[in-house]
Amino acid sequence: GQQVMQIPQYQHVQEGEDFTTYCNSSTTLSNIQWYKQRPGGHPVFLIQLVKSGEVKKQKRLTFQFGEAKKNSSLHITATQTTDVGTYFCAGFSYNTDKLIFGTGTRLQVFP
């Protein structure tokens, strides 16, 4: 079945350092969404990418959707302690008609 993997599984950074998480799907995706889940919290929607090669920015966050629509990345510039949490990509495929969450990357930021 469809699988969505993320690397790395964990990342510890010093405040001010950059962070990137990569998302790879076993199948071509129709769109990809990104969510952030704070410790003890629930997933919160960040953004959706639809077009091949699309790049979107939200302040310090940059999101990319690969040309083949099978991978995506989230890059955070100059991390802050408020960035702590687990970042999930979630891909939708018309083949499965379902949104499949990636395995997640847990980010820890040390002050």
Binding site for other proteins (CB under 8 A): 30-31, 33, 35, 41-45, 48, 88, 92, 97-104, 106
Rounded to the nearest whole angstrom, what is the least distance from the CB of residue 57 to other proteins in the complex? 18
What is the sign of the dihedral through the CA atoms of 103, 40, 10 and 80?
positive
Pairing of strands 85-93, 4-7: unpaired
Whole-number minimum distance, CB 68 to other proteins, in Å? 19
Looking at the Cβ atoms of 9 and 81, the one nearer to other proteins is: 9
Angle CA 5–91–38, to nearest 5: 70
In terms of CB distance, is 66 or 102 closer to other proteins? 102
**Residues whose CB is less than 8 angstroms from the CB of residue 94 and which lie 6 or more positions away in sequence, other chains included:** 30
In the complex, the smallest distance separating the C-beta of residue 12 from other proteins, rounded to whole angstroms, is 15
